[in-house]
Structure 1
């Protein structure tokens, strides 16, 4: 039995992993797959990949591209969710900030430097025509840290996935002033190079299993009510999220896609320069 450790955010995007684990899909192929939630998001997972704490991570595209360029010994093996992520831009319920224009000089809560909440704050600033070099950040670790920072005034706004934070908007913890979608597919699957070399067949089987699950995932009976219950969401919010979310059906990631994403990341000042796109990816289906 080969041991493989997988990590991802504890959000509805990753429910297909929970289903396949519950059904013991991996053990049927002599793979002992263990799942770890990373509430700190992509920055936390990039660190875990570097440290060997996980073998596979479902990470935000922009975060892992930036970290592989900075030396993370991992490869992107495929897109996981091919639609954009909708980032809600949140302020505290009692904040004096009313609209996005008010936030130009405000302090931004981010989970970590290099995380999605950090990089998308830069994208949003660029979209607004603000001076990216003057952005002010407060590192808060995770969603709970964001709640605390906005509540006690340590930071002014916080960007996190729209539907995950919707209950906090509904209960009056946050007020959402706007949304900012990613200009690229949102989640990819990254694997440590060492694991690709030693367990290539097992990693490929893991991908086969999860891709089979996501191909027909949206046809699952009573999926909307199951997700609403599991993730404490309103049924209509989950239904809206399902409408706009598409998983990859197993198509390998291409150098062309990585190049296009890097071009946008340079344009948005998220990375300073492009690197050879072939260095970021490993095609599992050659």
Structure 2
């Protein structure tokens, strides 16, 4: 049996992985797949890919492109969630900041440098016409760290996925000032190069299983109620999230898409130079 370790954020996007593991679908193909939650998000998973802690990771597109550009020995094998991710821009409930324009010189809580919360803060600043070089960051580790930093006044605003943070808005921990959607498909599946070289067919099998699950995911009976209960969300919010979320079901990621994303990331000053887009991608369907 082939042992593979996969990591992802413990959020509703990854519930299809939970179902395939619960149903022992990988075991039936002689693959011992083990899941690990990464509360610190993409920055933490990029580090885990680098040090071999995980073999496969479901990561934010912008984060892994930056990290592969910086030398992460991994490849993107496909898009996982095709639709953009909606990032909520949050302040503490009692904050004096009222609108997006107020945040230009504020301190930004980020999970870690190179994470989605870091890179999307730069994208948001670019969209607002702010000076990116003057942004101030406070590293907080994860969502819990963001809550603590905003509550204590160690940082002024924090960007995290809109629906994951909605309960914190509902209970008065955060106040959402605005939203900022990603200008690209949000989640991709990345695999360490060593694993692709040694276990190509097994990785391909894993992708076929998860793509089959996401293909019919929205048609699962009472899936909205199941997700609302599991992730402590309002049913209406889950219904809204399901409407705007679209999984990729097996189409390979193209070098052209990587090139377009790199062009935007250079414009946002997230990466310094464009690399050969073929260095980022492994086509599993040749």
Give the TM-score range, shorter chain.
Answer: over 0.9
Deviation at 1:270, TM superposition (A): 1.4
Residue 239 of structure 1 aligns with which residue? 239
Residue 227 of structure 2 aligns with which residue? 227
Tell me whether 1:9 sits opposite 2:9 in the alignment.
yes
Q: Return the alpha-carbon distance in structure 1 between the equivalents of residues 241 and 250 of structure 2.
A: 21
Residue 133 of structure 2 aligns with which residue? 133
Q: Deviations over 1:106-127 (max 9, x none)?
A: 0000000000000000000000
Q: 1:75-94 to 2 correspondence within 5 Å?
A: 75-94=75-94
2:34 is paired with a residue whose SS is strand
Residue 66 of structure 1 aligns with which residue? 66
Runs (5+) with no aligned partner, structure 1: none
Q: Return the alpha-carbon distance in structure 1 between the equivalents of residues 265 and 245 of structure 2.
A: 22
Residue 274 of structure 1 aligns with which residue? 274
Q: Return the alpha-carbon distance in structure 2 between the equivalents of residues 254 and 178 of structure 1.
A: 31
Runs (5+) with no aligned partner, structure 2: none
CA RMSD of aligned residues (A): 0.4
Q: Deviations over 1:238-280 (max 9, x none)?
A: 0000000000010001100101111111111111111100000
Q: Return the alpha-carbon distance in structure 1 between the equivalents of residues 175 and 257 of structure 2.
A: 35
The alignment's TM-score, normalised by the length of structure 1, stands at: 1.00
Q: Deviations over 1:170-207 (max 9, x none)?
A: 00000000000000000000000000011111000000
Which one is further off, 262-271 or 128-137? 262-271
Give the total of aligned pairs.
Answer: 286
The alignment's TM-score, normalised by the length of structure 2, stands at: 1.00
Tell me whether 1:172 sits opposite 2:172 in the alignment.
yes
Tell me whether 1:44 sits opposite 2:38 in the alignment.
no
| Runs of 4+ more than 2 Å apart | none
Residue 100 of structure 1 aligns with which residue? 100
Residue 195 of structure 2 aligns with which residue? 195
Q: Deviations over 1:10-49 (max 9, x none)?
A: 0000000000000000000000000000000000000000
Tell me whether 1:159 sits opposite 2:155 in the alignment.
no
1:184 is paired with a residue whose SS is coil
Residue 256 of structure 1 aligns with which residue? 256
Q: Return the alpha-carbon distance in structure 2 between the equivalents of residues 58 and 226 of structure 1.
A: 22
